[in-house]
Structure 1
Amino acid sequence: MGLSATGAWAAEVNGIKFDDSMTVGGKSLVLNGLGVRHKVVKVYAVGLYLTEKKTDTAGVLALNGPKRFRLVTMRDISSEELAQAVLTGVNKNLDKDEKSKYVSQLVKFGELFNEIETGKKGDVIIGDYIPGTGTVITFNGKQLGQPLPDLGFYNAILRIWIGSSPADPTLKPLLLGDKPDA
């Protein structure tokens, strides 16, 4: 997969570098894991940052502090594809009651992608959960829309990758700290 340690960067996957730590909401986060989402072709690289390392989904979701995912596109992708991927991932990983609880936030989340016409290879999407603020999404450094409250909603988004039916089953263990096979 091409993961390696590089200087100030914690890791590199397919030429995309990820810092070993970041600050979100005034708290230091560490890179928990990273990998590449495959769907016939490489779609994006994603890294998960947490206040402390966790190796299972329950542990990640139980953290109440700030969290971040950093996603770097590896091909052009339309806003419709992004929105559809989120809806598909959420539908696979939330039960009916959970989906109904977050339906208004999911609609608002999907609307954020209307601010992006087409994502180009190398674009960066960051999703932060900041206690007291909520979920903040940025695209190439520009905040999209307003923050979406509720840690449970942010965790619903994370479950797209680390839930019981992840978008890419090979990516889940990598985000949970497993090292790729050499």
Structure 2
Amino acid sequence: MKRFLSGSLLAAALLTTQPALSAELAGTHIDDRASVAGNELVLNGVGLRTRFMLKVYTIGLYLPKRSESPVSAITGAGAKRIQIITLRDLSAEDFANALIDGVRKNHGDADLANLQGRLDEFRTTLIAIRAAPNGTQVRIDWLPASGTRLSIGNETRGKDIPGEDFFRALLRIWIGDKPVDEDLKNALLGKR
């Protein structure tokens, strides 16, 4: 009986010291798990995007399983999610242009030519929202059966954009060879 009680107490202690199932950063809440197309994903990392010392947005990267490798995170199979929460009022055009610029920095001319029509479609869909006020939730999901889906709040915007190469191009904005911010890249890869 004594052995059973000490085992039970140890199990209870371990259960109460598990990490929280969410992340708090810059006043935003990002869940530790997400469900995308019926697939359970884990929060790989969360970070803060700043520009000229101003907080712009928090971002979380969700993958089927955690990875510190940018190559594995980008090319690994399965559904994925990029979740962004704005921390200031942004114009949709500025936001879209910054994302497109991040794609351009991480791709050569041939790759960009292949992506261009889909980048234009993505940009047009983003610009149609006009503004992303402080607290706007932007989700960019990779759904293997249909493509890249953009959601603002809980509303899907535009149609799914085909091709895993397109979602991978978006991921490279933050975790590619030329990320928008090296510290942010490390945070999204769970390295800090």
Fold-level match, TM-score > 0.5? Answer: yes
Aligned counterparts of 2:79 and 2:180: Cα–Cα separation in 1: 23
Local SS of the residue matching 1:170: helix
Match of 1:119 in 2: 132
1:83 and 2:96 equivalent?
A: yes
Deviation by residue 1:24-68 (Cα, 9 ceiling, x = unmatched): 111110000000001011100000000011101101112120000
Q: Pairwise mapping of residues 84-99 of structure 1 onto structure 2 (< 5 A)?
A: 84-99=97-112
1:158 and 2:145 equivalent?
A: no
Q: Once the two structures are aligned, what percentage of the paired residues are identical? A: 35
Whether the 8 Å contact between 1:64 and 1:151 is mirrored in structure 2 is no
* Structure 1 ranges of 4+ moved more than 3 A: none
What's the CA shift for 1:13? Answer: 0.7
Aligned counterparts of 1:162 and 1:141: Cα–Cα separation in 2: 25
Q: Who wins on radius of gyration, i.e. which is larger?
A: 2
Local SS of the residue matching 1:102: helix
Q: Pairwise mapping of residues 49-68 of structure 1 onto structure 2 (< 5 A)?
A: 49-68=62-81
After TM superposition, the score normalised by the length of structure 2 is 0.87
Match of 2:142 in 1: 129
Q: How many residues align?
A: 174
Local SS of the residue matching 2:119: helix
Aligned counterparts of 1:60 and 1:150: Cα–Cα separation in 2: 17
Output the aligned Cα RMSD.
Answer: 1.4
Aligned counterparts of 2:147 and 2:88: Cα–Cα separation in 1: 29
Match of 2:22 in 1: 10
Q: Which amino acid in 2 is paired with 1:125?
A: V
Q: Pairwise mapping of residues 20-35 of structure 1 onto structure 2 (< 5 A)?
A: 20-35=32-47
More strand by share: 1
Q: Which amino acid in 2 is paired with 1:82?
A: F
More helix by share: 2
Counterpart of 2:115 (choices 102, 110, 128) is 102
Structure 2 unaligned runs (5+)?
A: 1-18
What's the CA shift for 1:9? Answer: 3.8
After TM superposition, the score normalised by the length of structure 1 is 0.92
Match of 2:4 in 1: none
